[in-house]
């Protein structure tokens, strides 16, 4: 009986110490996890900033490319018009094949549409 009376408080103390150890370990793990989360958030925010910057650069490059391509298309259309008119002129025709800018307007009413 004496051993049981001595063992129960000792078991309680051991359980209490194990509980404290678990709490400390959990606290340490939580701190470690929060540190890792902080580091990840810093890295992720850096990556997001880089992605945002890259997105802006890519959008600017695409805008420039589209502008450049539209300018090339305009030049090609002009060249096609010129070549077709030259070919028509060499065949004896004296009229422009492609109407110039404003072809949709009524010649009698320059401000209005046909």
Domain extents in the chain: 2-93
Cβ neighbourhood burial of 83 (10 Å; 0-12, 13-18, 19+): exposed
- Longest CA–CA separation in the chain, Å: 130
**52-88 confidence digits (pLDDT tens):** 666 666 677 777 777 777 778 888 888 888 888 888 7
pTM score, whole prediction: 0.31
Q: What is the mean pLDDT of residues 11-29?
A: 69
Alpha-carbon distance 96 to 24, whole Å?
90
């Amino acid at each position: 009986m004496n051993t049981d009376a001595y063992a129960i408080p000792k078991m309680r103390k051991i359980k209490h110490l194990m509980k404290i150890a678990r709490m400390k370990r959990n606290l340490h793990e939580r701190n470690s996890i929060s540190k890792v989360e902080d580091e990840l958030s810093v890295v992720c925010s850096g990556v997001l900033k880089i992605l945002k910057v890259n997105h802006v650069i890519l959008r600017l490059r695409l805008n420039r490319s589209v502008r450049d391509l539209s300018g090339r298309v305009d030049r090609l259309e002009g060249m096609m018009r010129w070549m077709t008119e030259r070919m028509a002129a060499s065949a004896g025709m004296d009229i422009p094949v492609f109407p110039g800018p404003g072809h949709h307007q009524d010649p009698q009413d320059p401000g209005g549409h046909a």
